[in-house]
Structures are given as structure tokens and as C-alpha cells.
Structure 1
């Protein structure tokens, strides 16, 4: 999208269901200028329902099951908010997400799916899990299978509900337990007279497969209570079970069933254009929607077919134009039901077939769907001008986010050496430490400033990371944060979007600062080419912790892992695993004030940011001292070594390596020592005898801290 075009409308996609995933793919190939897209989903992935039985049976890994929403959002130029909507105000056009303020929209779509929890069944919440949401079920199943395989619990499973989902899952679970060397005991508890959801021929195939696996079907049975080791039935009997799942029908999410929207049994009523009745700017698709013009059972095939119509109608609504397309669902669809092993039964239009070849057909269909969302089209980069100055093409790598976009260490260092020395007596230090030191009563005040290009499109998460990053300089000086000024740059956008953005970002900054006893007292805002956030901070300390204070024999402690630069570069290129990226961003947003207070007795300390671990460590060492680092002890973010090995390096990586060379075997771990960090860990030199206890206390506080090496009597750094 051209930076000259302002943003004027907010599109909010609530949920990462199949239809929304396909809309994001289409949007990435042809975005509508002027629209800011946000996706809200609990977690970085959305499981594909068609492959869940195969995953349970062991035919697919969890990664093969999951749609990577982080990667899709990057492709679409969208923000991904890791959270769950718990309320909607269609009049104000806002949604509620726990942990942040109201999120406003101009046009929104609901695709949150359904659940199979049974809150009215005593004991279900404590001892069972619904087959939907799929992600929670898949995680619970993996945990149970591991416990059963280790002998920690018996291989006993109860499935509440004898529809297609219950029968298919029972066979998948029985197959997986057999493959693990177990003798499974699986019972399907069905209140009706038999299996439901399929015709008699398909039902016979399912029953035959259940017989082969020893799956028991209890007909006309109703669960009364779920216990830790059994399910009590109304008839007085009990079914032994160490794992209980509910697959008895589709239920709307409680918040949606209570929403001020037109509902049908808790599902949102939509018209033939997929609009929520009476709400021009609100749409709903997938299992959470009830199509008033053509009611259909809850099945993912309808969501997939809805996606193109939803995409076009969202664009029309955002343009403020009429002419919405109608959606006409297919009269019937092909049911392909797995039978545990790699075979399936198919049913459509009264015809039923079964065999391994049908499982292969199902596998091809499912993998083809997922490949659309994994193998995203490579969008051609803008062409270089025909003629350029020398060096332009060599610097053609996209500018990194976060600290990867800093000015090179050599250039900055040279400029700082030419600055004049302080002339005021109450200015106790010049450039070179983490913060300037000013005389303040009997103690000192520290002063620092820092700013970042957006490391993610979620304005609240970015604001939290930027705040932690800026506070790092104050914490590293052993100071208590005092006051802050914020500097915000927003891309060109309408006044309404400006207000929304500032409210989210400044609210997050103020909240983070207040938790550290610091006040946000003012700042400056402007519009520019992209989103940026900076903070100027003061802090108070009796005796600031300065650089060059490391002593021979000191232990080196790092409070969080390395790798933010390379993972962010890989994410920009669409080559990082979304779960790794989101986990890392949440870790970056975690404050380190408690860690800094615990390390207050350090001989010297700094925060690891743009110049990498090696560059910042070099600044802590006094004359004649070096450092010996342990490769085995270095904490690393998941995905960082793989990203570095694949060549994903920040734009200042080479400059960092030149400024602070490290001896040791070449490889991605050594390269990580030069990786620029954003909101990186605190690096402290502490007395040897304190190190073990400090690391243990830091870990108790929730920090991924480690002792990474020692200060030695030799020049330079070495990795062993």
C-alpha cells in the first residue's frame, strides 16, 4: 500500500476460523487501500478441523494441523491480537478483550466457531474437555496419551455423544493408543438409539470399525456426572475413564450467546449477504452463524465456501458501497469420515463407499486446503530504479524492525567521540553509558531516551515492548523509574483512527509505567511514514551502576534469551513459526524491574539491545579484562538458531560483529552474540559466590535467566 494514502477504516476479524484465514490470504494478494486490518484470536494458530481426527490418530503432527495466523497476518498486512473477545457493543462498534481497553471497528466479522463443552453436566469442567475448541482438545489429548503410554493412567476413554464427531474421534483415539502399544478401552455414550448424522450404510461401516477396535457404544445412555476416573450414568452404571471428551452437538460461546445481537439458539442470525440482521457493518460466518435464508448443519465446508463472498462483501462495506453478493450454500456435501487407520467412509446423495483410497482422497483435499495457507504467494518486491548510486543495491535488504534498524555501532561511536564534554557541574557523565547521570540531592538522577520502529502490528503489545525496552536503560543503572515523556509517530490516518491508536498505545505505556512507580507526564505526537514509539525517562538512584565495573572472576548473568533480531527478520520474510514469534513478543513485553532490583549489588550491569550481547558485554569490561562465555549455557529463543542458520540477519549484524569480535567455532550460536536485541535481557557481572543463588531467584520470579560465563584475565571475548 502506498504510504501516501491515509488509513481511514478499521476492519476487525474476530476469530481465526477457516473463512477468516482465507479472507486474509485474499487480502494479502489485493489489499484495499485505506483499511487497517486487525485479527483477534486466542493464540497464534487456528486448528483445521478437517485434520483433527488424523492428528488424534497420529497421522498428522500438531504443526500440520494448525493454521499459522501470525504468518497469515504478516502476509495480509494485518495486526494479530493474541486474545479472546468476550463482549461486543454493536451500537458503539467496539469489542471487549480482557487485559486491554475497548477495541473499536468500522466493519467487523465474526468467525469464532463453536464449542462442545457441557457446563450443565456436573464434573465436566473439572475432569473433561470438549472436542471443540480444537486447540484445547488437541493439547489435552496429547497430554493424556503421553501419560497413558508411560503407565501414569489407564488407557480408558469416554466420548459423550455418538454423532459423526464422536464416532470418528473414538476410532482415532483407539488407533493412537494401539500404535502406542496400549490396549485401549474406549466407550461412546449416546443418549439416542444409535449413531447419528449419517445414513444406515455409513453407520454400518462405522460400527464395523468400532468393533474392530473394541470401541463400545452405549445406546440410550445419559451421563449424570464426570469424575476423575469415571463417568456416572443416570441408569446407575459407571464407565471407567481417565480421559473424557464431549462431542454431543454444537454450542455457541457463552459471550456470543449473551451478546446484544439477533440470535437463534445462541448463534448469530445472518442474511443471505452474511450480514448480521440489522447491522450493516457486522458480518458472521462459519459455525457461529445461523443462516436465516438457508439453515444448514454446522460443518466447515460451508465456512470455506463463504470466504470469497465474505471477502467481497467486507470490501464493499468498507468502501461504503452497496451491491453485496449473496451466498447460496450447497444443498449437500461430501462427508469423508476417518476410520482410525488410514481408511475412510464417504457419504453423499445417498451413496456410501469405504476404503483406504478414500482416506487418501481426504488427505489430498485436506493438504490442498492447508497448502493455500502455508505456501503463500511470493509478492514481487518493488523494482529498483534502472540506475542507482553505487551501494544502493547492496543495501537493498528491507529495514529491520526494533533494534535491528539502529545506526551502526562504528558510525555512532565515531560521532559520540566528537561530542564536547559536559560543562555543567551537576552533569556527572557524558554519552557512553546506558543513561546520563545528573546530580540530584544526595544521590543521582539518570536520564535516557530510546525509541523503536514497530516490532509488531498490535499497538498495545508494541507499546508494552517499547516501554520495557526504554526502561531497560534505567533498570540497568540500578535506578527506580521516575517520570517519562512519550514520543509517538503514526502513519497518515484519519482523526478517528488517530484517536484509537493513541488511546491504545498511550494507555499501555501508562499502565506499564505505573506498575514500576513511574508517571507518564507528557510527550509529543506526529504523523510520519510508519508507527514509532519513543520514551524519554528519568530515574533515581543513590549510587548508579556504571559500565566498566566488571572484576576479574565475576560471574556473568543474563536474564532473558537471545535471538529477537533474527526471529523478527525471519518473521518479516514469512519464514518464522508464528508460535515462536508470538511467544517471544510476549516475553519481550515482560517487565524486568524485579530482576533489576534483585541484581542491585552487581559490580556492573547493562541491558542487551542493539549492539548485541558481545557489543554490550565489551562495554562492561575494564582494562585488561575479557570474558569466557559458555555455549551450553546461553539461553536462546525458540526458532532463533534456525533463523540465523537460514541467513536471517538484521541490517546492523555485520557492523556489530566488526565492533565486538568473538573467538570460537563459527556457527549460528556465535552469530547470535552479534544479533541486535529489542527489549533484551539485563547483563550483570556479579561476585562468583552470589551467581547460583541469584539465578535461582531470578527463575523463581519467572525470568529465563542463566549464568552465561565469567570475567577472565585476557583481552577479548571467547565462546567455548
Structure 2
């Protein structure tokens, strides 16, 4: 996580990762505003480019060709990326309400969440039809349909509802791709049946007559049956019903009709049009609230109404970025004037396209090549990211601040005396912690519920106390997720020893800044941590928060354990099987992330695993007779295995091909991207008996990769191993694996042999 060069003075929050917002991110990346922080809230890490979706369906592009890596772009722009879904806006407190995290405060807000086909007006459509948007859900169904084709026997009938340009492109692309699939499977492509429905009697009614005629000719020549002027009134299982009384048996129904807006916008108090879209002025500020902007499909620009088309969202990106910048600096926003005519390039699935602009219309394979060149050049702007040079001079942002904010900002920039451990102010801390509710336990006699100089804990009869401590700086810009991972990591040692977590004392380091920003940062981070501690039954009993250059968090954790049932590192026995409960690779992935060398979905996968608790795994391992256990963290797999073999007096055979890896870890290791801790861990290579033989194996470096909130490494009796493996998978550890076995100690000094 990068620390800002000066305190955050203004928060611009972007809801959604649409075409306009990717333009905003790139614009701010090229020209950042000191003191202004961007935060992106988006459910999907990879945002699709609608212009290339038909080519993806037709099989001309792969997934990464048509998706912008939003997490990576945000990192490039110095923006925070919160992977979540916005569900509302509290305008009185200036907060975005999210599905899975605390509210996110904003000073300025922009909404670019696109639209979705309206299914609710047609009975059964919600249940039986597949909307093309959101594209993530459509893609899952499309991939399932491709797989189903391999086993389908007999005719396959597919209907698309919506005969605008989007519907026509989609049905032609699907037909082209499925015909290729059928041919590859030695099936007769004539078994494919395609139907296109629309209430309008005209194909692509928003385009000129020449374009309509060309597209209708293509559709009919390709054998697609048109059902125009007869609206669909009901969708049932494998059947479509129209107003004219006809019904048609279909295997799949795709919905590409007139788009609608999400219902939560109705609760915001913002002015909406008759379809629920946000009404904005030509500055892209909402008519209701100057602090809130909207762009793309979700916006209805009252002075310049246009149809819902990706070209307008793309064109709104630069003026939206400029006006967000101007308002953040206290300047007057400028009006945006969209073009009156625009170029649409409509593909027909078979590397042929038709161009439409105003009264013009023409087509050909060269038009598709032209479109392909335009689309790839557009995507390269967001996926082929250059290294950014340091700005020599930063603009002054003080003009954007009121007097109180300016005074706080100057204070935050001044040299801090560091008195009393550079503690964060008590009012800031107390307000942040007042919104957090740690779990209560009967054996916590004095804690946050009754604050004093120190916590007082009771130790039940027959129990021993387990103590551990961990601390590390933030490696991601999402304080809530970082708090969850920090707590999870700190609990790992407790669970690895077979103990239950009793209490935790926090130590936090927070960059200096104005009070409101520091308060929210502390709250977000501690809310994430306490959510994890509470789920483990661990009470937060106190802590210390000080100012520092970087955000950091750690915990001293107490646990309780039966002295006769402690899981130790020195309990490995010959004949044990080694089980690892989580995949490896966090070190290399988070070394690659700030270098823009890791895909967003790889980081998503790593963060998800880092938030998986080891509590259930430890319980399961004990149930199946584990004799030794540790959690895999900073020393890497090899370092922690050596810590187990030496005191146990055994050797181990480690199976490199069986090691579970996080998605992307193999690629980043292949590129030579290693954690800064890796060189220190590599010194333990002398513990490998056949190191010279295996050093060139592509998986060899993962042995030294330091892990954050890693899994448990345990020795389990061989006759229990398979059952234990199955039980761990049932409890949510999907990548758990048997990675080796324990042997009698040999004559050689090196205890580990790689196989």
C-alpha cells in the first residue's frame, strides 16, 4: 500500500467500473491531484468493454482481450479498490452503503454502474431468461451453454429478445460460435435454431434505412427467424409466449431489451427520469446534488438526451474526470457537449461488420478489421499501462478547503513531535471504536466494556494460556479487508496449537491526517479486524494507536488450551502424511501487484484465501489425529517444515507437483517476481537434500515464498489422511492437499527430499 505524500483532504468515490470511470482513473493517473484520493467501489474486478463482447462470444477474443483489469488500473491510478456492491447512498452523512462492508464516506461521488435489461415487466423472464447485463452473470451462463453443447443431442433452439443493435450482434455472434462448436463435435450445425423477438416491427430501429436493410439481409441469409411486432408477454420453462398468442419451444432465452436502472437509486432522493435513470445537468452533476455526478448508461443528461450506447460513456470519461478535479479544487465545472452523430460498428459474428453514422451505412470485412483495430487500441490504453514518472511539481490544493479543514491540513503536515508514542487523538479514537462492538466473554473481567489501564482475564481451571503477537504494514489500499487479514493472520498461531482464542490487544499505526479521514481509516480497519475476532469468539480488550508513515496493524492474542492436547511443531512421526490446508503464493503475488504485473482476479483469489480462518481446519485436523501442526507464514513452506522436522527428529519427502498454488503464482514466479523476504528464506535451501537436482523446477521458488494468513501444515496418520482431506474440503478448504510424508531420520544432515 502506497502512503500519500500529504494527508488526504478530499475523497472522490466512484461507484461502478463502467466506461466513464475507467477514463477517470486513467486521467487521474496521468495527472494526480495531491490531497485528493480516489476510491472505486465495484463488484467485479474485470470490467467488460461492451464493444468487444460480440467478438468474445463469437470466439475471436479471449476473456482478457475484452476486459479491463479494474483493480490493476486503480493501482496504477493510486486509487483504492473496494471490491463490493453499492446498495445505497446516505446523502445526509455523505456515505455509500455497501453489501459486505461498512459505509464509505465521500466528499464527491460519481455513479457509473451501467444498466440492466428490464425483465420484471414480463412474467417468468426473471426466472427463465438470461439478461445480457450484468455481463459477468451472462458470461457464466454462456460458458455453461458451450459446455452443454458437448452433451446435447438433437435440435438446440435459442431465442434472443431484443432486436436492437445489441441483440442483433449477440445472436449473430452466438450462431457463428455454436456452429463452429457443432462442427468440431461432428454434429450437424443445421440442428441449431435461432429466433429474434422484438415488440418493434423494425430491426435496429435507431439506425438508418440502409443499415437496417443490410442487417436484415444478413439475419435472413443466416437462417435466423425474425419475430418482429409481436412482443413477448411471458417466459416459461423452455418456452416463449407472445402477445399474438403464439408460443415457441426454446432451450435458452437471452434478454437484450430496453435497459433499466437498479431499484436502490429510488431511495437516494436524487431526481430520476421515467425509467429510473439519474437526471444530470450538462456538467454531469446530478440535478439534485452538486456533490454527486453520474455518467454512462445510468445517467440521463437532461440538456442532451441520447440513447444508451457505450460510445457516450467513453466520451464522458474525460469531461467527468476534469469536472471532478475542478470541483475538488473549488473551481467551477464546465459543461459537456456530446456529439450529435456517432459512429457505430456493428459486427455480424463472422469477422464482418457494418458501419452506421447518421444517414451513412456501409459494410465489409475491412470494416471488421477497422473495428478490431479501434477496439484493441482502446483496450491497450487501460491494460498496457506505462510506468509513471514522478511529478516534479504538485499543484496547491489549499483553495479547495474551508478554514477549518485548512487548519487541520496544515497541522497534519507539520512535523509531529511523537510525544507519548505519537498516539492518535483520544476523541478520534473513541469515536471510531464506539462504532465497533467486540464480542463479550465471561472470562474477560476488565476489557473494552469496562475500560481501565489494562485488561484483566480469567484462566479457567484445567486450561493453559497461549500467547502470540504479530504486526505488519498494509499491503493493500482497502483498510477493511486489511483489518480482516491482519486479525486472521494473528489468530493463526493460536489455532495452529489447537487452542481457542480468548482475547486480543491491538497495536495500530495510522498516517497523520485531518481528523475525519483518520477516524474513518481507524474505523474501517478495526471493523474488519473485529468482524474476524468476533467470529472466532475472541474479545478485543484494548490496544494502542499511534501515528506513523504507513498504515499497519497487529495483535497480541491470548488463547486457552488443554495442556494435554497442545498441537506442537515437534510432534511429527514417521509414517505421517503432510497436509497443507491453503494454497501458496501470497508473497510473489503481492510483490507483483504494485508493479502492475498481477491480474486483478489473481489478487482477488489471494485476498479471499487470506480471509479464510484456520479455526475450522485446526479442529478438523485434531479430530483426525494430527500429531503436529504449524501455520505457514513469513518463513515460507520450507522454513516452517524445517521448524517441524528438526525438533521432531524426522526427515520429510515433499512432493513439488502436489503443492497447491494460488492462481497466478506460477506465472509471477516464472517472471522472476519474488517477495523482498524471499532471499532470506532461500538461505534454508541447505535443508534440501537434492537441492541441485530440483533447483530448476518451476515450482521450486514457491518453497521460499513468505505467506500472509497462510494455511496450516500438519502431520496426520496415513490411515486418516484421505478422510481428513475430504472433511477439510467439506469445511471450505477447497485447495487442501496432501503434499508429502514423514520418514525416519537418515544419516544426511539435510532433512528434506523433494520428489
Question: TM-score, normalised on structure 2?
Answer: 0.86
Secondary structure in 1 aligned to 2:657? coil
- Report what 2:286 is aligned to: 276
1:603 to 624, 627, 649: 627
Question: Are positions 1:639 and 2:664 aligned together?
Answer: yes
- Report what 2:409 is aligned to: none
Q: Which runs of 5+ in 2 are unaligned?
A: 183-188, 393-457
> What CA deviation, in whole Å up to 9, does each residue of 1:654-682 have, x standing for no partner?
21011244335223311101100011000
Contact 1:670 1:719 in 2 (8 A): no
Counterparts in 2 of 1:154 and 1:11: CA distance versus 1, 3 Å: farther
Structure 1 residue 606 displacement after superposition: 0.5
Give distance in 1, aligned partners of 2:61 and 2:51: 11
Query: Considering only aligned residues, what root-mean-square deviation do their CA atoms show, in Å?
Result: 1.8
Secondary structure in 2 aligned to 1:86? strand
Give distance in 1, aligned partners of 2:648 and 2:282: 76
- Report what 1:716 is aligned to: 751
Secondary structure in 2 aligned to 1:218? strand
Secondary structure in 2 aligned to 1:668? coil
Counterparts in 2 of 1:717 and 1:154: CA distance versus 1, 3 Å: farther
Structure 1 residue 476 displacement after superposition: 0.6
Structure 1 residue 154 displacement after superposition: 4.8
Aligned residue runs from structure 1 range 359-438, under 5 A: 359-380=368-389
1:251 to 224, 247, 260: 260
Give distance in 2, aligned partners of 1:257 and 1:47: 26
Give distance in 1, aligned partners of 2:79 and 2:154: 44
Aligned residue runs from structure 1 range 293-308, under 5 A: 293-308=303-318
2:707 to 666, 674, 677: 677
Moved more, 607-616 or 177-186: 177-186
Structure 1 residue 153 displacement after superposition: 8.1
Structure 1 residue 2 displacement after superposition: 7.7
- Report what 1:327 is aligned to: 336
Secondary structure in 2 aligned to 1:341? coil
1:706 to 726, 729, 737: 737
- Report what 2:134 is aligned to: 133
Contact 2:15 2:111 in 1 (8 A): yes
> What CA deviation, in whole Å up to 9, does each residue of 1:559-616 have, x standing for no partner?
0001110011111210111111112111211112111111124211110000000000
Question: Are positions 1:95 and 2:118 aligned together?
Answer: no
Give distance in 1, aligned partners of 2:30 and 2:675: 26
Give distance in 2, aligned partners of 1:330 and 1:11: 27
Contact 1:115 1:252 in 2 (8 A): yes
Structure 1 residue 117 displacement after superposition: 4.0
Aligned residue runs from structure 1 range 101-140, under 5 A: 101-140=102-141
Moved more, 664-673 or 674-683: 664-673
Give distance in 2, aligned partners of 1:43 and 1:557: 33
Give distance in 2, aligned partners of 1:554 and 1:193: 72
- Report what 1:613 is aligned to: 637
Structure 1 residue 518 displacement after superposition: 0.8
Counterparts in 2 of 1:106 and 1:382: CA distance versus 1, 3 Å: closer
Give distance in 1, aligned partners of 2:529 and 2:591: 25
Contact 1:187 1:239 in 2 (8 A): no
> What CA deviation, in whole Å up to 9, does each residue of 1:184-204 have, x standing for no partner?
211011112121221211111
- Report what 2:519 is aligned to: 499
Give distance in 1, aligned partners of 2:629 and 2:37: 41
Counterparts in 2 of 1:189 and 1:623: CA distance versus 1, 3 Å: closer
Give distance in 1, aligned partners of 2:245 and 2:3: 69
Secondary structure in 2 aligned to 1:520? strand
Counterparts in 2 of 1:665 and 1:442: CA distance versus 1, 3 Å: same
Structure 1 residue 16 displacement after superposition: 0.3
> What CA deviation, in whole Å up to 9, does each residue of 1:16-75 have, x standing for no partner?
011111111121222211122210111211100100111111111111111101110110
Counterparts in 2 of 1:2 and 1:230: CA distance versus 1, 3 Å: closer
- Report what 1:188 is aligned to: 196
Counterparts in 2 of 1:595 and 1:2: CA distance versus 1, 3 Å: closer
Contact 2:484 2:611 in 1 (8 A): yes
- Report what 2:614 is aligned to: 592
Counterparts in 2 of 1:356 and 1:3: CA distance versus 1, 3 Å: closer
Question: Are positions 1:19 and 2:20 aligned together?
Answer: yes
> What CA deviation, in whole Å up to 9, does each residue of 1:162-194 have, x standing for no partner?
111111111111111111123321101111212
- Report what 1:407 is aligned to: none
Secondary structure in 1 aligned to 2:253? strand
Q: How many pairs are equivalent?
A: 665
Give distance in 2, aligned partners of 1:439 and 1:718: 43
- Report what 2:410 is aligned to: none
Moved more, 554-563 or 579-588: 579-588
- Report what 1:478 is aligned to: 498
Contact 2:628 2:715 in 1 (8 A): yes
- Report what 1:267 is aligned to: 277
Structure 1 residue 152 displacement after superposition: 6.5
Tell me which stretches of 4 or more aligned residues in structure 1 moved more than 6 Å: none
Give distance in 2, aligned partners of 1:698 and 1:623: 25
- Report what 2:576 is aligned to: 554
Give distance in 2, aligned partners of 1:190 and 1:340: 20
Aligned residue runs from structure 1 range 655-674, under 5 A: 655-661=680-686, 662=688, 663=691, 664-666=693-695, 667-674=697-704
Question: Are positions 1:538 and 2:567 aligned together?
Answer: no
Counterparts in 2 of 1:15 and 1:2: CA distance versus 1, 3 Å: closer
Secondary structure in 2 aligned to 1:180? helix
Counterparts in 2 of 1:538 and 1:305: CA distance versus 1, 3 Å: same
Question: Are positions 1:313 and 2:313 aligned together?
Answer: no
Secondary structure in 2 aligned to 1:345? strand
Question: Are positions 1:564 and 2:595 aligned together?
Answer: no
Give distance in 2, aligned partners of 1:211 and 1:496: 62
- Report what 1:689 is aligned to: 719
Contact 1:615 1:660 in 2 (8 A): no
Give distance in 2, aligned partners of 1:86 and 1:292: 25
Secondary structure in 2 aligned to 1:457? coil
